[in-house]
Amino acid sequence: MSPRNVNPPMNFNTLSVPDVPRGRNGKHKLIVSRILSDLDQIRGGVALKVPLASLEQTKEKVRSALNRATRKAGLSVATASDENFLYVWVENGSETKAG
């Protein structure tokens, strides 16, 4: 074999495309899914009161994950927090259930 036909060694392992995991199932998926489910069930003018002690990650990381998910869903959500709770509500003008 001539030196031109020798491939350099691979830097990374390979995987068949059908075996590549699809979608993002990050650390925050469960809590974000639960918050989104509850937001879908409440009426406007009501906030969820999520205990900070129930979060496996920091409130900042959960807020970031929630922000990504709600933007993707086209939902405008606001948050606030105190020492014990993360408050989450749908802002006016977003779709909410009437009630």
pLDDT tens digits for range 9-45: 888 888 888 888 776 667 788 899 999 999 999 888 8
pTM flag (> 0.85) = no
Q: What are phi and psi of 50, to 5 degrees?
A: -95, 120
Instruction: Give yes or no for residue 95 having a pLDDT over 60.
Output: no
- Cβ neighbours around 15 below 10 Å, total: 9
Tell me the DSSP string of 21-90: --S---TTHHHHHHHHHHHHHSBTT--EEEEGGG-SS-HHHHHHHHHHHHHHHT--EEEEE-SSEEEEEE
Neighbouring residues of 45: CB distance < 8 A, sequence distance ≥ 6: 89
